[in-house]
């Protein structure tokens, strides 16, 4: 991952892709647009996966509707600051190697996996 992010052309391309994606999700409501990708896990099982509702959440957050984003997918909405922190840690890996090692420790990786699994179970048991 680090070598990919070192190339300035790659960083610019990734930034452009993120901006285009954000503009698209701002303009298009995934709940009503018929050509949005659907969750294969949900279609096969009828259960919600960890990411179900993320497209609607992104659309709501881009419109400043935090409550709507939370309703669409509470776990991912709450996780966004953590994801931003992980990106910052990755981009500052060489300057802060001790922080990188702590963040990507086996304990935190396992805890994240457990949180994902717990959210998937809870959201399906409660129907949220």
- Domain that residue 72 falls in: 2-126
Question: What per-residue confidence (pLDDT) applies to 26?
Answer: 93
Verdict on whether the full-model pTM lies above 0.85: no
Q: How far, rounded to the nearest angstrom, does the alpha carbon of residue 42 sit from its chain's CA centroid? A: 18
Q: How far, rounded to the nearest angstrom, does the alpha carbon of residue 65 sit from its chain's CA centroid? A: 17
Q: Total domain count for the chain?
A: 1
Q: Is the pLDDT of residue 1 over 80?
A: no
More confident residue, 77 or 128: 77
**For the residues 45-65, what does the mean pLDDT come to?**
92
| Residue pair 97/82 in contact by the 8 Å Cβ criterion | no
| 13-31 tens-digit pLDDT | 888 998 999 999 999 988 8
| 65-107 tens-digit pLDDT | 999 999 999 999 999 999 999 988 988 888 888 999 888 889 9
Reported as a pLDDT band with limits 50, 70 and 90, residue 4 is low
Q: Is the pLDDT of residue 63 over 60?
A: yes
- The rounded distance, in Å, linking the Cα atoms of 15 and 5 is 11
């Amino acid at each position: 991952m680090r070598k990919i992010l070192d190339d300035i052309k790659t960083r610019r391309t990734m930034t452009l892709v993120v901006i285009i994606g954000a503009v698209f999700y701002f303009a298009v409501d995934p709940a009503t647009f018929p050509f949005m990708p659907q969750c294969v896990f949900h279609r096969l099982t009828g259960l919600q996966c960890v990411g179900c509702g993320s497209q609607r959440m992104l659309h709501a957050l881009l419109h400043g509707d935090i409550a709507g984003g939370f309703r669409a997918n509470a776990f991912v909405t709450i996780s966004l600051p953590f994801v931003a922190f992980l990106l910052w840690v990755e981009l500052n890996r060489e300057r802060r190697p001790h922080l990188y090692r702590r963040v990507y420790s086996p304990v935190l990786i396992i805890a994240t996996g457990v949180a994902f699994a717990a959210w998937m179970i809870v959201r399906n048991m409660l129907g949220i």
